[in-house]
Structures are given as structure tokens and as C-alpha cells.
Amino acid sequence: MKYFLSSLCIGLMAVFMFQFNIFASVDVTSSLEDGIIKYLAPEGSNVKKGDPLVKFDSTIAKNELVIKKLELAETIKKLNDNTLDHQRTSKLAKSKAVSKAEAENDYFNYHISRIEVEKLKYEIGNKKSHLSHYIIKAPADCQVEKTIVTVNSGTGVGDKILTIKFT
């Protein structure tokens, strides 16, 4: 007889499926479609709650984070330029030295840049929190019974990667 339980258990709590049987063994499944770099706890080892068990390849995710940070730096520069343009044309529009349309265009560009900066900051925060999903930690004190996936091979969401037994 088997029971299923969803458990939140990685850094910022990634969801993993645990399958319990009457012997209290648990099949840990992947929530990522990436390759396992290494098992951090070998078969037969006893681990404490929170100890790292598996590390996935996070190279692509880290590169995506770097790209987003570069995009943010460029967008902040654009925001600074648009802020100066908006301030300049606002003053000039009052004295009718520039058209109202030009002042409004600079106003909209300024606000669009502000929104782009906030969007990128949000995306960077999401990517940073997602990096914690690349290490699976023990949900409780347990023993690693069996590693299922070969190191440096890919996994899909839901693939069994190891079996643990609660101690």
C-alpha cells in the first residue's frame, strides 16, 4: 500500500513528490529538467534533515541571471538618460521652446524605463530564488538507500533520482 505526499523541501521550498511505502522508503523525484552533477550523499550514508543530497547543473540558470543583471544595468542607464530628457523637456515645454508632444514623449519614455527597471528587478529576484532549487536537501533524518540517475545524465520533471529511508 502506497501513500503520496507532496513536500516542500529546498532552500526556498521547491516541491518534490515523495512516495511512501510500508517500509518508510521514499522515492525522491526531480522538479527540474537538468543534469545531476553529483550525489552529495553516497548510497548507505546517514544524513540529517537539511543536509544536501543531490546537486543539479545550474550553469544555464547562473548565465541567465548574469544576462538579466546586464540588462538591468543597461536599463538603469536608459532610465537615467530618460529622466534627464524628461526634466529638460518639461522645463522647455513650459516656455514653449519644445512642443508639448515632445515633452509628452519624453514623459512616457521616462515612465516606461521605470517600469522596465522594476520588471527586471523582479525577474532577477525570481532567478536568484530559483537557484536554490538546484540542490535537493534531506526532508528529515534518513539514509540514502539507492541512487537511481547516473551522474551527468539529464532528468525530467517527475523522474526518480534517489530512494531514502527514514531513520
Q: Enumerate domains of the chain plus CATH numbers.
A: 3-55+139-166 (2.40.50.100), 60-131 (1.10.287)
- DSSP percent split of the chain into helix, strand, coil, nearest 5: 45, 30, 30
Most confident by average pLDDT, 6-10, 13-17, 31-35, 64-68 = 64-68
Place of cell 537557484: 131
Taking 70 as the threshold, does the pLDDT of residue 157 lie above it? Answer: yes
Q: What percent of the chain has pLDDT over 90?
A: 66
Helix axes 100-131, 59-94, angle to 10 degrees: 160
Place of cell 503520496: 4
Name which residue leads in pLDDT, 26 or 7: 26
Confidence of residue 24 (pLDDT cuts 50, 70, 90): confident
Q: Report angle CA 95, 96, 102 to the nearest 5 degrees.
A: 120
- Distance, in Å, from the CA atom of 3 to the CA atom of 166, rounded to the nearest integer, reads 15
Q: What percent of the chain has pLDDT over 70?
A: 86
Query: CB-based contacts of 112: which residues, under 8 Å, 6+ apart?
Result: 82
Name which residue leads in pLDDT, 48 or 6: 48
Name which residue leads in pLDDT, 10 or 154: 154
- Distance, in Å, from the CA atom of 129 to the CA atom of 125, rounded to the nearest integer, reads 6
Answer whether 0.75 is exceeded by the pTM: no
CB 167 within 8 A of CB 143: yes
- Distance, in Å, from the CA atom of 161 to the CA atom of 39, rounded to the nearest integer, reads 10
Task: Please report the pLDDT score of residue 149 as a whole number.
Answer: 86
Which amino acid appears at position 59 of this protein? T
Taking 60 as the threshold, does the pLDDT of residue 73 lie above it? Answer: yes
